[in-house]
Structure 1
Amino acid sequence: MADAKLVTVSKPKVGGAVYRAPLGTVLPTDATAELNEAFKALGYISEEGLTNSNSPESDKIKAWGGDTVHNYQTEKDDTFQFALIEALNPEVLKTVYGDDNVTGTLDTGITVKANSEEQKDCAWIVETILNGDTVKRVVIPCAKITEIEDIVYKDDEALGYGITISATADAAGNTHYEYIKKGGK
């Protein structure tokens, strides 16, 4: 039987919804455990929220005459796309440009080096609130930034960094985990 109480929207956790840590950081295995201190909050993301693309792509084999006789999966990328809009946050800048390419603070002055160094794999977490007091935590054990949108400097738009992270499978073959718990707010 259908239950309207199970329909929900997703809102960011207060204080930020997206976190990043070095690869190998101890990961949570439920929706409410304290995060390892290595996870750094990346602050506000744009109002478009977060999009997870996790759909298989397939191809088919046809027999003589045109009948499809077999469908098979060719790939199944697991990507997450969002825009970080705290452009003055050093953790955001480190996320976009690389940890070794950003130094300083707003008070001392921030230096950003843009170069062609490949992004490192990291662990990522997304935390959201569903239906008031239900929490959902998405844990991505290993992913790296594989796309950065054009950076737009405009007087009526938040300066931000639209990024796509692509997950790779862990030792168990999983690209991400989802943990959901009622009363976890």
Structure 2
Amino acid sequence: MAVNVQNAFVGRPPIDGGVYHRAPLGTPRPTDALSALDPAYLDHGAVGEDGVAVNQTRDTTDVKMMGGETFVNVQTNYDEQVVITMMETDRPAVLATTFGDQNVEIVPATAQHGLQKTIYHTSEPLPISHHVIDTVYGIKTKRYYIDLGQVINLAEVKDLHSDATKYTLTIKTYKPLAVELKGGNVVEYRDDGAVPAVPVLSTLSPASVGTAGGDLVTITGSGFLGTTLAKVGTDTVEHAVVNDSTLVIVVPAHAAGTANVVVTNATGASAPKALTFA
């Protein structure tokens, strides 16, 4: 098989920089890579240069049979965790995710002081929330959705003169309750960004048919893969896609004269092509 570099993905932040978002349980979830997130998903700003690490762990054990040979290998545990580094450590959303929503207090600036934040480092477990991670590569988009995720670890935090303070978080994922997510601790949505062109009709063969209907007409052109609708005049007709450049339709009964053939795919409708009825 030939190597195709177009199958590569090199993760980069979206144009608006919004890589990681978190929302409380019950917030509507995304169902694809491109749909706008509910406003409750708060943007956490810039993330570290190591990007996003998704770690799957499968623990297994061999079941032995008499003689010492392995009879079968069984899985005893599955775990999936995500590691991501927050760079904007003064951002309220980042503080709430790192230390707990109830453990961050913010006092607006006054004439006597600036914006004040108090962060309580407590032993209380952090809440289970919805999490979304978005990355892009050219026109491609990748989105990780975690329906039930919990921050379980904050790596060592260093305040020093030679580097920015960072919060490296480990998010433990759990099996979702929604059956639509098919048990995925993490659901990965991808969109390759390659939107198909509208169909182009080049030729009709034959270009003239009888008025009784039922004739087969072969259309040549382009953009026929993914055809959703074919019409002759105002009539929706049966169609069969042969390949991207060939489509066959069954014409309806029609009075003598001409009728426009139009083919539609997910992107839009073709320019009309006249078919003669005689």
Alignment of 1:11-160 (within 5 A): 11-14=12-15, 15-104=17-106, 107-130=114-137, 132-160=138-166
Q: Partners of 1:27 and 1:179 in 2: how far apart?
A: 12
* Aligned-partner Cα distance in 2 for 1:12–1:50: 10
The answer for unaligned runs of 5 or more in structure 2 is 195-278
Shift of 1:144: 0.2
Which is greater in Rg?
2
SS where residue 115 of structure 1 aligns?
coil
Shift of 1:88: 1.1
Residue 183 of structure 1: aligned partner:
193
Measure, in 1, the Cα distance between the counterparts of 2:84 and 2:143: 16
Question: Alpha-carbon deviation of 1:118?
Answer: 1.3
5+ unaligned residues in a row in structure 1: which ranges? Answer: none
Whole-angstrom CA distance in 2 between matches of 1:158 and 1:50:
18
Structure-1 separation of matches of 2:30 and 2:5? 30
Q: Kindly provide the amino acid, as one letter, of the partner of residue 141 in structure 2.
A: V
The alignment-based identity, stated in percent, is 30
Aligned counterpart for 2:169 among listed residues 155, 160, 163: 163
- Superposed CA RMSD in Å reads 1.6
Report the TM-score when normalising by structure 2: 0.63
Quote the Cα distance in structure 2 between the aligned partners of 1:39 and 1:159. 24
User: How far does residue 63 in structure 1 lie from its aligned partner after superposition?
Assistant: 2.7
Deviates more, 1:4-13 or 1:114-123: 4-13
Looking at structure 2, the residues matched to 167 and 65 of structure 1 have their Cα atoms a distance apart, in angstroms, of 40
**Count of paired positions:** 183
More strand as a share of residues: 2
- 3-state SS in 1 of match to 2:121: coil
Q: Relative CO higher for 1 or 2, CA cutoff 8 Å, sep ≥ 6? A: 1
Structure 1 CA distance, aligned partners of 2:75 and 2:144? 25
TM-score normalised by structure 1 residue count: 0.92
Q: Distance in 2 between matches of 1:159 and 1:109?
A: 18
Report which stretch shifted further, 60-69 or 39-48.
60-69
